[in-house]
Amino acid sequence: MISRLVLVLIATLPAAAAYGQDAAPASTAPTITRANSQVYAGFGGQRLQYTEVIEGYFGDSEIGKQYDASVGASWQGDLLRIHDVYVRGQAWFARGKTAYTGFLQYSSGAVVPFDSSTDVESTDYLLRLGKGLGNPAEGMIMPFIDVGRHRWVRDSSRSDPYGYLEVYKHADVDVGLMAQGCLSERLVGTIEISAGSTFASQIGVPSQQVSAGLKHERLFGAALSFDYAILRRLHARIEYRQTDFRYGRSKVFDTTLGPAYEPDSLSYQGVAMITLGYGL
């Protein structure tokens, strides 16, 4: 559902910009308004670290880097007589490998360390609504609310004789603050911080017909970016984004190997990216 909303938002942002009352054209709009009103696409890398904790002790981990691509659109302007409304929709797609570090437990009960490689891919969606406060020609503070969706697929079946496919997913909502400043007539720096919670979190294991809910937990985000207007409508941006979130332990469920549960876990997702945008 959220992914469809992102696509609808991206498709309708140009219409929203045209509808905005007294919105200045891209050629004369203030520097921050221009930086915040564009469609864009980017490419970069992601570092993912996932760790399971069982009864307070290390259970296993997945750590690695993946390629990442992104598309999105944002718009800032006057809408329904409200000044400096900010709307944004963005999607990220990452794919690569992680290194698994954990343990194997044999039928005899013996536990031994075990390492392997895992194929992973992740998809993230973001919808943001904010309100700018300040002067878009100099600097602004923008409170915002985000709604997002995250899906992570890990498949160790190709490189691990004991491996299988797992799918983790959740939605999230958080509130935050975006501070922006004009470093020159063409360069805008942005710092973001946010905090919220996951919800509707689940793990699925198709081979074992498992679909279990995970407890909602806290989520934190932070980002730093610099947008440079190469031309009036052509923008280049570099950015780094970090998201930290947790999953709470699931209830006990049945598998083909007997009763099991998904333990507590914590994830760190860092994305570095270069994007090119076209001003609306």
Which tokens is 168 given? 């983790």
CATH number, domain with residue 86: 2.40.128.90
Given a cut of 60, whether residue 272 has pLDDT beyond it is yes
Alpha helix positions (H), the chain: 2-19, 31-35
Residue of 94, 98, 114, 115 lying closest to 106 (CA atoms): 114
- The pLDDT, as a whole number, for residue 5 is 43
What is the overall mean pLDDT for the chain? 88
Beta bridge partners of 134: 140
What domain range is 110 assigned to? 2-279
Q: Are 72 and 9 in contact (CB under 8 A)?
A: no
Q: How far is CA 267 from the centre of its chain?
A: 12
User: What is the pTM for the complete model shown?
Assistant: 0.85
Given a cut of 50, whether residue 18 has pLDDT beyond it is no
- Residues near 184 by beta carbon (within 8 Å), at least 6 away in sequence: none
Given a cut of 70, whether residue 107 has pLDDT beyond it is no
- The pLDDT, as a whole number, for residue 156 is 86
- The pLDDT, as a whole number, for residue 189 is 98
How far lies 143's CA from each of 43, 176, 185, in Å?
A: 27, 6, 24
Could you give the number of structural domains in the chain? 1
| Range among 21-25, 62-66, 157-161 rated most confident | 62-66
Percent of the chain residues past pLDDT 70, beyond the cut: 88
- The pLDDT, as a whole number, for residue 164 is 82
- Residues near 79 by beta carbon (within 8 Å), at least 6 away in sequence: 16, 19, 20, 21, 85
